[in-house]
Amino acid sequence: VAILLFHHMALDHTALDVMQHEMQLLLLGQGAQLGEAMPYRNYVAQSRLGASEAEHEAFFREMLGDIDEPTLPFGLQDVQGDGHGIDEIRQAVDPALSRRLRVQARQLGVSAASLVHLAWAQVLGKVSGRHEVVFGTVLLGRLQGGEGADRALGMFINTLPLRVDVGAEDVRAGVKATHARLTALLGHEHASLALAQRCSGVAAPTPLFSALLNYRHSAVVVDQDARSAWNGIEALNGDERTNYPLTLNVDDLGEDFSLTALVDSSIGAARICGYMQMALDSLVEALEQAPQTPLQALSILPAAERQQLLDAWNRCDVEYAGDALIHRQFEAWAATQPDATAVVHEDQALTYAQLNAQANQLAHRLLALGIRPDDRVAICAERGLEMIVGLLGILKSGAGYVPLDPAYPAERLAYMLHDSRPAALVTQPQCRDNLPPMTIPAIVLDPLDIDEPAQQPSHNPDVPELDAS
């Protein structure tokens, strides 16, 4: 039993094939056929003759200069992981879909890799909520390496950002644009990732991207020599890890394709492979039948997950009165289950009776201020019990609430208050400093003080106009 442990700094996918071929020659007793080892210094010298740092910078500024937000699928942003907590799965792309993908690539005069990169951008765009998607793509690093670079060992591969826009542009134009940008990127395969990230508007230390695509040609021809050399030798297992929390390896097998997802276990590798399979299928179908379809209209949801989201999780086993006011339903429940817990926040809780009583006191205070059905009452409160009391109390008074997030900038809060013109404000002491001066009545919710709402009646308010409506 043997184990081969290596880092891509010394051995990449191409060099591994070279090494396995050399092992095969030795197993066959043909060691004399081994060629001369290719010195890495030749590659270093050749690569230094390529594009200058100024040319690299100009290219990446043009591509990334207006990107001021990172692409972080599922909010994953740790790009310095150690490979732990990763879920891995390998799936074959349906052969029929693989053939259709290659047909479309030939008809459009692009590489199959371009379609795969666009489909991956579709997935990342959907799960990060962005139309301007940036992800890392693994480059071979040997295209401009000079003679013998295809047989050398050393640091060749490089990861660089690729921007793909998946918004209103149609699918045909999107394929062409992705192919052009990917082709241009190959001319900068020796650029520094740090340089490329500095050319964007995303400020360090926030990563520009947290997802990776590794498209690699992995077709293997097994001849008689290979069968003879490796006869009786079995590969037991293999693991591959990167620092990124979301990596997709796409193996181009000549005719078919294979997907290997390496994903943070909180997300699930099978889920990502399912999205990618669906993204490839919807992209190819659009190219075949409706090439003017906007990229943003394509779906990545497999049928099973779509059914779960739309049907299973929305299934309701109880019929509720469609015309009953929500606060009236709450009052009925509070009357039958007064001691049941209604709301919990951290180490605090309110029963239905307590929540109903406090909301009633607020409603009576609002009614005393002249609030009537269809008035607007602004509420600016942090998440917690007081916010729930505020929302329910406003509804009980017959008004509609205008929610104001205390985390909003003061300018936005001022605009929303001016635009909605509320008749009153419900807030908390810690939120008042961020609010502009106002002439409307303000009610402060503070559980530490005995304020005006606490002095009001606690019974359910009677609002005839509301019940009549």
What does the pLDDT average to over 334-362? 94
- More confident site: 34 or 377: 377
Compute the C-alpha angle 45/47/52, nearest 5°: 115
- More confident site: 357 or 449: 357
Q: Residue 239 burial (CB < 10 Å; 0-12/13-18/19+)?
A: exposed
Which 8-state DSSP code applies to residue 426?
E
Q: What is the mean pLDDT of the chain?
A: 89
What does the pLDDT average to over 254-262? 95
The whole-number pLDDT of residue 449 equals 44
Q: Compute φ and ψ for 247, nearest 5 degrees.
A: -130, 135
Q: Which fold has domain 326-468?
A: Rossmann fold (3.40.50)
Superfamily of domain 13-225+239-310: Nonribosomal peptide synthetase, condensation domain (3.30.559.30)
pLDDT tens profile 131-166: 999 999 998 766 665 676 777 777 778 899 999 999
Provide the token pair at 386. 């007081």
Residue 6's pLDDT band, with cuts at 50, 70 and 90, is confident
The pLDDT of residue 111 is above 50: yes
The whole-number pLDDT of residue 448 equals 43
Which 8-state DSSP code applies to residue 202?
P
Q: Compute φ and ψ for 376, nearest 5 degrees.
A: -110, 135
Write down the domain spans for the chain.
Answer: 13-225+239-310, 326-468
5-9, 121-125, 421-425, 428-432: which has the minimum mean pLDDT? 5-9
Alpha helices in 312-427 (DSSP H): 326-336, 352-368, 385-396, 410-420
The pLDDT of residue 275 is above 80: yes
What does the pLDDT average to over 271-288? 97
pLDDT tens profile 191-209: 999 999 999 999 888 999 9
Q: What is the DSSP string of 226-293?
A: HHHHTTT----------SSSEEEEEEE-SSSEEEEEEEETTT-HHHHHHHHHHHHHHHHHHHHH-TTS
Using the CB atoms, write b or e for 457-468: b if 16+ within 10 Å: eeebbebeebee
pLDDT tens profile 229-247: 888 898 888 888 889 999 9
Provide the token pair at 138. 């693994």
The whole-number pLDDT of residue 450 equals 40
The whole-number pLDDT of residue 454 equals 65
Residue 427's pLDDT band, with cuts at 50, 70 and 90, is very high
Is the whole model's pTM more than 0.85, yes or no?
A: no
Q: Tell me the chain's radius of gyration from C-alpha atoms.
A: 31
The pLDDT of residue 2 is above 70: yes
